[in-house]
Every structure is written in structure tokens, then in C-alpha cells.
Structure 1
Amino acid sequence: MIQVLVSIATHTVALLLYPGLFAMVAFGALVELAWLRLSARDWGWPILPRRRPTPVVATVALCSVLAAVQLGAPLNPVPGDERSIVLAAVGLAFTVWAELALTVEFVAEPGLLLLVQVCWLLAVLGPAVQPESLRPQVLGNMLVPGLLPVKIACAFLYLLCLPPLLRLWPFAPAGERRGKRRLDAGRVLTWFAYCGLFTTLFITPSSEDAIGLLRFFGFAFLVAAIVIAIALLMQRRGPAIARGLYVRAVPPYAALVLAIVVVTSILMR
């Protein structure tokens, strides 16, 4: 009975505080404000989200929390053997599906977005093929030289897919109204899960102490900075260049990544 209560308490802390809701909102708010500051010509404090969360925001929050507690973050209260990369990937995938299902009129290029998400799922699951493990700490700690091409290829594909998934690409949905910019609650809730998952998959695990915690968040912020830089570059180049990138370049590159994963899996057996 005591073990059950302790387990409930630790999982509650993980879901509500760290690495769950509180950590997600704090990280996401900082990164989102940085994005708004860098991407807007005339800076002004954005309008806060509505006090009452919409069904989409509530769904995104729930799925993002599920993904966040799966991360290989230091001092994560959830035991390592209870975490899974698949749960993190499915949770983040549902955030996109929820927006497409409930507010498709406010989603730019929904068909292309789904294509990008398939490529992103390949980048997430590709490193797990050869180790045959879905535990985050195992995947991040794989330093076998033969797997290095897979990890590099998947990491690059992952970064390329994040601007569309975070709705940072230079496409405006048909139902968007021009006006003062509002803080995007959905994006605030997903920044940490996306950046933390990259850190979990492609960076060696951090130590279970304060220094490791700072290292993990440092890499997560670095990933966010890279994504913002890519998005700003696309914003300056214009929608035509961005469309060409995600229609003509990213899918063939994803096919190449898949080939690398398959060949590596065969050679490493």
C-alpha cells in the first residue's frame, strides 16, 4: 500500500511539476517570447491566451505532459523502465492531430504538415531500430560508431521537421485574422517536449544532479535556438522557398534516412 501511494505521489509530481506541466510552461513561455521578439518587426507584448482553455489547448496540454514525462531528463521522478520513446512520439503526434481535427481552418498547409509529421516520426524511431530498445536513456547513450550515421541523419531530419510542427514556417492559415499577436498556448506547451525529446535521443544522458539538470536544459534551449534560427531564415526567404524545401527536399531526404536505418540495421546484426 505504501509503495502504491509513493508511486502515485511521484507520478503526480512528474505530471504537474517536473518534467511535466510547470516545467513545460516555464520553458515554453521563455522560448515563445524569444521567438515573438525575434520574428516581429514591431515588438510589443503579445496578448495572453484565453483564461478558459479551449478543447484543443486542453488536449495539447494532456498529450504534451504525457510526452514530457517520458524524457530522459535528470531527476525525472518516473522510473526509467516505465518510460518509452513511443509514448513520447505518440503524445506529440496527437497534439498535431488534435489541431487538425478540431481547428483545421486555422492550420496552414494541413496535408504538408502530415507529411512532415511522418518524416519526424521516422527521425524519432530511426535510432531505436538497431538497439531494439524504446527506453530514452538507452537510446541517448548509444555511442556505437556504426550507429553514428543513423543518429546524425535522424537528428538533422528531426530539426528540419520542427518548424512546421511548431507552426513556425511562413504559411498563414486561411482562417487567421490579422491583429495583435497572441501568445500561442499550444506552442508554449510543446516547446519543451519537442526540444527535450531531441536532447534525449541524440545527446548523451546527463548526470542525475544539478549540473546534469543544467546541462539538459542547456541543450534543450540550444535546440530551441536552432529551430528559431531555421524558422527565421525561412521567414526571410519566403513561403515559396519553404514550400520547396518541405515538398521537394525533406521527403527524399527522409527516404534516404530510412535507407540508412535499414542498411545499418542489416549490417549491425
Structure 2
Amino acid sequence: MQEDSGPAEDRRLDLEADCGACFGLCCVALPFTRSADFAIDKPAGKPCPNLRTDSRCGIHTELRQKGFTGCTVYDCFGAGQKVSQLTFGGRDWREGTREQAQQMFDVFPVVRQLHELLWYLQEALTLPAAQPLHADLRDALDRTEHLTHRTPEELGELDVGAHRQEVNVLLLRTSELMRAGVGRGSKKDRRGADLMGARLKGADLRGAGLRGAYLIAADLTGADLRGADLIGADLRDTDLTDADLTGAFFLTQPQLNAARGSAGTKLPESLTRPGHWTAER
């Protein structure tokens, strides 16, 4: 019998962004608002002035220095190349009519949401504590992946919010099973909590539920986050110096990229230490 974790781990490779196979959709379809994350205002559907004709970023190596930190923490989970190469058959948004380009821009965020759900579902299938849910999780994974293969017209009409709610029920049950298996720790449910700027240095947050929590600029230096649920937690400028995130789940690379950390920060094996953590120290 094939192991449950095998297919999920193999298929996760399809959820890694391949900018070389995309037509710079995130640089055109999405809006920017002048802020600490973006140096300019840009409406949805208008190309970023830094986007070159070859669909590459003209300031890719200087994004942080030029005031485009928001670009460095964004990840489409592979939706860009899916929409560019599969949904629209390799047709550049520059090649068709304005209506065709707009359809591509409308479909991109829908597929991006579906790909993010695929990421969480695949991770859930690798979690031993979620074994009782693996059949349901695999079914949800297959149904979600099937949706990403729909036509542009079908994707444009898809109620992705309703699908997210359906999948979220399974992810919540997964979280409960995972956190119940954590030994000691607070296991406190801080779902959606406003913890902006909170002083949580050295806090014992093992098994804590931090789904959608606002941890912007919070001090989590040396905090113990083993086995914590971090799905959707806002980690912008959160200080994770020397924090222990071993076994933390539903944590994504974009979340880490938005945070601050150090060589002493312990991470889940599936994630990569952001390069700017060392550069900024």
C-alpha cells in the first residue's frame, strides 16, 4: 500500500512558483497601495512600471531597497504558471484583446486561492495525527485540484469562498487533532486575536491556535511555537529571533518572508530560512 504522505509531497512541487513560465500576472492583475509594502499606487489590471517586456522584474534584486517589500513576500503557489500555460494555453495577456486580458486577470486570483488550499491540504496529508481524516482530506484535495483545471469561464463563475469554507472545516478538524497531540503548552485558542506589537518574548505557545491572528511587529523572540497552528497568521515584521517553530503547521513561506528572524530560529523542514534574515542583522 502506498504511504499517504508520498503523493502529497510529490504533488507539492506543482505549487512552487515558476516565474519563468508566467507572464508576470501578479505584477499586472493585482493592485498596489502606496505604503510600507509598496512604493507606488497601482490599480488592478495595470502593469507595474518595473515589469519588463520579457515578463521579468527590472528591479528584482533591489525590491526591498526600492520600497517593494510586498513583492518579496508574495507567493502565488504556482497559480501564475497554471493560468498562463494551462488555463490560457500559453497565450500572453499582451497578445489578445483587452477583454481577454481582463479575463486572465480575473481568473488568476481565483486559481491562486485554490492553489493555497491545495498547499494546506497536502500538508495535512503529511501529518500523522490527521490520519483519521486522510480519506476526506484526499477527496478535498482531488476536488480542489479538479477545479483548477476548469475553463476560464467556469473559473470566473466559481464561488471560491464557499469552497474555502468547506475545506476549512477539514483544516480546523486537522488542527484540533494536531494540537491535542502536543504535550504541555498553553494550547490556547487565539484565533483572529489582535496581538499587534505584543510582547511575547519567550512565551510558551506550544499547541496554540493562532489562526488568522494579527502578530504584526509582535516580539516572539525565543518563543516556543512547537505544534502551533499558524494558518493565515499575519507575521509582518514579527520578530522570530531564536523562536522554535519546529512542528508548527499550516505555516507558509510568504509568512516567514514577511517576518524577521535569525540563524537561531528553528523552522519546519519544509520551509526555507529567508535570506534577508541574515542580511538585516
TM-score, normalised with respect to structure 1? 0.30
Greater Cα radius of gyration, structure 1 or 2: 2
Larger % of helix: which? 1
> Which protein, 1 or 2, shows the higher relative CO under an 8 Å CA cutoff with sep ≥ 6?
1
TM-score, normalised with respect to structure 2? 0.29
